[in-house]
Amino acid sequence: MAPCTLRGVRVMTTDETILTSDERAKSEPERLVAEIMVEQLEAWGVKQVYGIPGETSLQIVDAIRRSKAIRFVLVRHEEVAAFMASAYAKLTDEMGVCLTIAGPGATNLITGLYDAKMDHAPVLALTGQVGLQFLGLGSFQEIDQHALFEAVSNFNEVIDSPEQAIELLAIAMKHAIVERGVAHLGVPANVQVLTVPAICVSKQRGADFPTYAFCPVPSSSIPQQR
Amino acid sequence: MGYGARNQRNALLKIAEKLGAPIATTYKAKGIIPEDHRLALGVMGSVGTDPAKRIVYGADLLIVIGSSYSDLTSIPSFIKQVQIDHDPMMLGRKFPVQVRLLADIGTLLPTLDNRLEEKHNDEYSGQVADIKTQWERKKHDEISSSTPPIRGPQAMHALQETVDSDAIIANDVGDNSLWFARNFVATDQRILISGYVASMGFGLPAALAAQLTYPDKQVICTTGDGGFTMVMGDFVTAVANNLPITVILLDNAKLAMIETEQDEAGVPHFATNLQKIDFAEYANSCGGEGFKVEKPGELKSAIQKALASDRATLVDITTDPRRRWA
């Protein structure tokens, strides 16, 4: 039996299971980061996302548009989107979600997110970010978004690569829900349209969707027991 | 009783009735128990009622459940208390508390109930009833005038008489929310507030989220001209999404709570006058329905019409710019 190192809770203990996962991965349709994020939101029971679309969040907004389960609610000011997410969480004891562009969209969220933080309302704040290739260059609508959300959030990360996308989103939502606070995930515009490797998408036995996914070490690189 | 005690209405009432203990709530917990219950005192603290203040401050023992001891709730430190919370960080949060019980409230309450004995103190019950009667009389005086300008308590009384018992009411921040917390008698309504941050502009977004989530419930936003104007562009979001919310807007053309704060600080009123806007007209121009009310006698029918409408409505109530206690 080959040991397998995984980032995550579940440990696969048989070669057979690894092979099955590999085989399943082969038949996995390719999905973009934006698409798989929205599928994951659906699986976690999200029904509404409040926000305003824009260049740096277009792909996620479009994935929500195509979603049959999630309704995108357009507002006139992102502060209202954040208040709505906070109020939704207070009303239902479930996680509220808001989605904005980078830069001024993100900064407009802050007051509403503090309402969620200080009143212990679970909220996921998704923000677009300028493409990774533009970071640090003083690009259009580029701000230090990580620093901006650091104080208000319990969890504050950027999806830098497609391999991280599923796990980071799951962990972010867990932080929001378990710690009853604000989780922030920035998603650079170029990452939103990258393909998530199929191997990273693994279906829970008996379930339809990767509600907790992981990237197993490919079985070929696991040292065989002698 | 604080927000942490939500969902425990029956267990809480059972214990309170057993002990003959009157119940005050924090602002955030308003509505957890019906405020027309004989033991209900209303909200405690800066936006609270006289009975809550008088009876809490006169008590021998306080049982505090699920409260974060906000300064604005003003739970007195000099009275013996038993505190129950599921979060250890909340126990003795502001000052030492004699007895601290760390427990899931829903699990603890039945156990507590089993170990408590029935208690009757007719003299105390009489005192509590007297204080409540005096308060009802005071509230009655606050609403009895039929001459304009309309006073906050009158608007809240009219709302109380017309709103559904299971409505969702989102409060903004300011004198408008003070009147709501203090004067509106909640029975079964869910109430949403911006608690610790107390940000103006919370009411309308909260009402939007509530109506989207519960399309069949009556959803109200109580707000003032100050808070509403911070977010008013999104009234059209209600129209665009066919959300039949009702905005109850207390318009005194002022940041009235700030003026009270200026009074308390001994500085003159300054930068607190708000330019008048015709909010009813604004609601109409958004494609919703606006109702303008300037006389106390018109309040009830205007609110009824607004609540009954299947469009987004706004009741623009011209109110007395002075905060007046009867």
Structure confidence at residue A217 (pLDDT): 40
For residue A15, pLDDT over 70 is answered with: no
Domain of B172, in residue numbers: 145-318
SS (H, E, C) B48-113: CCHHHHHHHHCCCEEEEECCCCCCCCCCCCCCEEEEEECCHHHCCCCCCCCEEEECCHHHHHHHHH
Inform me whether the pLDDT recorded for A23 exceeds 70. no
Quote the tokens at residue A64: 């929500």
What pLDDT is attached to residue A191?
Answer: 96
Closest listed residue to residue A218, CA positions, set A197, A194, A204: A197
Residue with tokens 């007395």: B320
Among candidates A83, A118, A119 on the partner chain, residue whose Cβ is nearest the Cβ of B205 = A83
B149 prior amide bond cis, ω within 30: yes
Q: Which is more confident, B125 or A221? A: B125
Q: Say yes or no: A179 contacts chain B, CB-CB below 8 A.
A: no
A-chain CB neighbours of B190 within 8 Å are 91
Return the pLDDT at B238. Answer: 98
Q: Considering only alpha carbons, which residue of chain B is nearest residue A82?
A: B205
Q: Which of B213, B231, B240 lies at the smallest CB-CB distance from A91?
A: B213
| pLDDT value of position A207 | 44
Residues of chain B falling short of pLDDT 50: 326
Q: Which residues of B touch A80 (CB under 8 A)?
A: 201, 204-205, 208, 231, 234, 237
> What is the tens place of the pLDDT at every residue in A151-193?
999 999 999 999 889 889 989 999 999 899 999 999 999 999 9
> How confident is the model at residue A9, as a pLDDT?
37
Q: Clarify whether residues B309 and B171 are in a common domain.
A: yes
Partner residue opposite A115 with nearest CB, options B28, B199, B240:
B199
Residue B168, helix vs strand vs coil: strand
pLDDT tens-place string over residues A89-148 = 999 999 999 999 999 999 999 999 999 999 999 999 999 998 888 888 888 888 999 999
Which of B103, B133, B163 finishes a domain? B133
Is B121 in the same domain as B153? no
> Nearest by CB to B209, which of A84, A114, A115?
A84
Q: Is A46 exposed, middle or buried (0-12, 13-18, 19+ CB in 10 A)?
A: buried
Q: Contact B222/B246 with Cβ under 8 angstroms? A: no
A94 close to B (CB below 8 A) = no
pLDDT score recorded for residue A13: 41
- Measured over the CA atoms of residue B298, residue B304, residue B308 and residue B311, the dihedral's sign is positive
Look up the ipTM and state it.
Answer: 0.95
For residue range A44-96, what is the model confidence (pLDDT) as tens digits? 899 999 999 999 999 999 999 999 999 999 999 999 999 999 999 999 999 99
Mutate to test the interface with A, among B72, B231, B242, B282 (most CBs of A within 10 A): B231
Q: How many residues are recorded in chain A?
A: 226
**A178 in contact with chain B, both atoms CB, cutoff 8 A:** no
Residues B170 and B124 in one domain: no
**Cβ-based contacts under 8 A for chains A and B:** 86
Q: Where are the domains of chain A?
A: 31-199
Nearest to B229 by CA among B259, B250, B258, B260: B250
What is the structure's pLDDT at A167?
86
CA gap B162, B300 in Å, rounded? 7
Domain boundary among B75, B110, B133: B133
State the Cα–Cα distance between residues A169 and B5, nearest whole angstrom. 31
CA distance B76 to B87: 21
Domain annotation covers residue B323: no
The reported pLDDT for the residue numbered A6 is 33
B-chain CB neighbours of A48 within 8 Å are 209, 212-213
Q: Is residue B39 part of a domain?
A: yes
Give residue A142's pLDDT. Answer: 86
How far is the CA of A153 from the CAs of A112, A118, A122, A124, B51, in angstroms?
12, 11, 10, 9, 39
The CATH number of the domain where B219 resides is what? 3.40.50.970
When divided into structural domains, chain B yields a total of 2
Give the closest-approach CA distance of B27 to chain A in angstroms.
13
Instruction: Look at A50 and B170 and tell me if their CB atoms are within 8 Å.
Output: no
Please state, in angstroms and rounded to a whole number, the distance separating the CA atoms of residues B54 and B70.
18
As a whole number of angstroms, the distance between CA B155 and CA B184 comes to 9
Residues of B in contact with A94 (CB under 8 A): none
Q: Answer whether A111 touches B (CB < 8 Å).
A: yes
Measure the CA–CA gap between A3 and A13, rounded to whole angstroms: 7
My answer on whether B104 and B155 are in the same domain is no
Helix (H, G, I), strand (E, B) or coil at A73: strand
CATH 3.40.50.970, domain A31-199, yes or no? yes
Structure-token pair, residue A23: 């085989």
Residue A74 burial (CB count, 10 A): 14
CA atoms within 13 A on the CB side of B110: 2
Residue A4 has pLDDT above 50, yes or no: no
The residues that bridge with B221 in the sheet, in sequence order, are: B170, B247
Answer whether B197 sits within 8 Å of A91, measured CB to CB. no
N residues, chain B: 326
pLDDT tens-digit profile of B4-58?
Answer: 998 899 999 999 999 999 999 999 999 999 999 999 999 999 999 999 999 999 9
Q: Which of the listed residues B112, B133, B154 is the one where a domain comes to its end? A: B133
Q: What is the DSSP letter of B277?
A: -
Distance CA A22, CA A7 (A): 17
Distance CA A202, CA B94 (A): 48
